[in-house]
């Protein structure tokens, strides 16, 4: 963890701008974890209306988005056919996610998030700020810093929805 | 505008880390503006359920949060009694905001956002990265970079809600 979750600054183990980015990724994650703390399987599976994603599906989405940005920026490639098949339900959300992403306890989602995050931090720790500014090979209009900011931004966007949805869950029996 | 909205990098007119922050603030704002484009007064005032904030109120909130972080970081103080009175409805949202923040066209909200943002960019352009890392005088557990990241993060959180709410607006007559 960075020295304080409420500071964005260069931190040990990362080049300066990457350290600031890591602070943002960690802070965003801490708020996601706080937003889902203690949720039951039924609550994670609950669908607010016919167009809504369950909170469980949104957690799976956050992990899948982070994986896809790892592939894009650490491996300079798009998803393989196998990865696309494996992650597409969580990446796309919607009807298929409502059908398939259910029945999992919170720990399953949190384990996935943790496992993916470890790879992110290892990858970022092994690189420098010159790398961070580079264009993404397979999407040259964006640069790598934007890609990782966007991963945090997408998580925060969905965390805003998670908070909203959780407030409106049916009362526990 | 930065050279590309899809890059986070040092930009002319700002010290390096502040430039990256400005890219994030601008990108977050561009997505907020896209999320509300073309909305009518009725749509901005619509309240999804008894606990929801209207999209208009969320836009007013985003401007008020940005103002309050300007005061905190550029002027090293908390809100004055007068500022608190003026901005508290938008800052707090909820029942009072549902009652009072209504009847305004989109341009009114956008003008406020633009006016506030100009002050932010002037303030950030006049400061350097050493300043960015400082603790906030009135809240020393946070530093200034976190404060401004949080302003963007709060906007993104609410933009996630705006997108969700807009999809569920009643059909236009």
Q: Give the model confidence (pLDDT) of A105-148 as tens digits.
A: 999 999 999 999 999 999 999 999 999 999 999 999 999 999 99
pLDDT on residue B121: 98
pLDDT-derived band of residue A3, with 50, 70 and 90 as boundaries?
A: low
Nearest to A6 among B23, B51, B142 (CB): B142
Of all residues in chain A, the one with the smallest CA distance to B18 is A17
For every residue of chain A, which 3-state class applies, written as one string? CCCCCCCCCCCCCCCHHHHHHHHHHHHHHHHHHHHHCCCCHHHHHCCCCCCCCCHHHHHHHHHHHHHHHHHHHHCCCCCCHHHHHHHHHHHHCCHHHHHHCCCCCHHHHHHHHHHHHHHHHHHHHCCCHHHHHCEECCEEEEEHHHHHHHHHHHHHHHHHHHHHHHHCCCCCC
Q: Which residue, among A63, A52, A58, has the nearest Cα to A168 in the 3D structure?
A: A52
- CB of B27 within 8 Å of a chain A CB? The answer is yes
Which residues 64-83 of A are in CB contact (within 8 Å) with B? none
Average pLDDT over residues A29-36: 96
- CB of B99 within 8 Å of a chain A CB? The answer is no
pLDDT in tens, B61-112: 999 999 999 999 999 999 999 999 999 999 999 999 999 999 999 999 999 9
* Partner-chain contact A8 B141, CB within 8 Å: no
Residue A19 C-alpha, separation from nearest chain B C-alpha, in angstroms? 11
Contact A40, A94 (CB under 8 A): no
Q: Is the pLDDT of residue B152 over 90?
A: yes
- CB of B146 within 8 Å of a chain A CB? The answer is yes
* Partner-chain contact B153 A156, CB within 8 Å: yes
pLDDT in tens, A47-87: 999 999 999 999 999 999 999 999 999 999 999 999 999 99
Residue A112 tokens read as 């996935």
Contact A134, A143 (CB under 8 A): yes
- CB of A49 within 8 Å of a chain B CB? The answer is yes
* Partner-chain contact A23 B168, CB within 8 Å: no
Residue A142 C-alpha, separation from nearest chain B C-alpha, in angstroms? 5
The length of chain A, given as a count of residues: 173
SS3 state at B8: coil
* Partner-chain contact A7 B145, CB within 8 Å: yes
Residue A157 C-alpha, separation from nearest chain B C-alpha, in angstroms? 4
Average pLDDT over residues B43-48: 96
Sign of the alpha-carbon dihedral angle for A110, A114, A116, A117: positive
Q: At what angle do helices A55-74 and A144-167 cross, to 10 degrees?
A: 180
Mutation for testing the B interface, residue in A4, A5, A7, A11 having most B CBs under 10 Å: A7
Of all residues in chain A, the one with the smallest CA distance to B10 is A133
What's this model's pTM, rounded to 2 decimal places? 0.93
* Residue labelled with tokens 């990858």: A123
**Cα–Cα distance, B27 to A147 (Å, whole number):** 12
- CB of B23 within 8 Å of a chain A CB? The answer is yes
pLDDT on residue B5: 83
**Cα–Cα distance, B85 to B80 (Å, whole number):** 9
* Partner-chain contact B156 A157, CB within 8 Å: yes
Q: Which residues of A touch B65 (CB under 8 A)?
A: none
- CB of B159 within 8 Å of a chain A CB? The answer is yes
Q: ipTM, 2 decimals? A: 0.90
Count A/B contacts: CB-CB distance under 8 Å.
83
Which residues 113-142 of B are in CB contact (within 8 Å) with A? 133, 141-142
Mutation for testing the A interface, residue in B132, B153, B166, B170 having most A CBs under 10 Å: B153
SS3 state at B22: helix
SS3 state at B154: helix
């Amino acid at each position: 963890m960075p020295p304080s979750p409420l500071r964005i600054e260069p931190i040990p183990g990362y080049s300066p701008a990457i350290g600031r980015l890591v602070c943002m990724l960690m802070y965003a994650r801490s708020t996601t974890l706080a937003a889902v703390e203690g949720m039951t399987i039924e609550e994670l599976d609950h669908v607010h209306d016919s167009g809504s994603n369950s909170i469980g599906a949104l957690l799976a989405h956050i992990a899948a988005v982070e994986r896809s940005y790892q592939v894009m920026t650490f491996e300079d490639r798009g998803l393989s056919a196998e990865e696309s098949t494996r992650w597409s339900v969580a990446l796309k959300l919607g009807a298929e996610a409502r059908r398939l992403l259910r029945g999992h306890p919170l720990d399953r989602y949190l384990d996935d998030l943790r496992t993916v995050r470890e790879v992110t931090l290892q990858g970022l720790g092994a690189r420098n700020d010159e790398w961070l500014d580079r264009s993404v090979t397979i999407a040259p209009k964006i640069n790598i810093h934007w890609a990782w900011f966007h991963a945090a931004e997408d998580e925060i966007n969905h965390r805003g929805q998670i908070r909203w949805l959780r407030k409106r869950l049916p009362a526990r029996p």
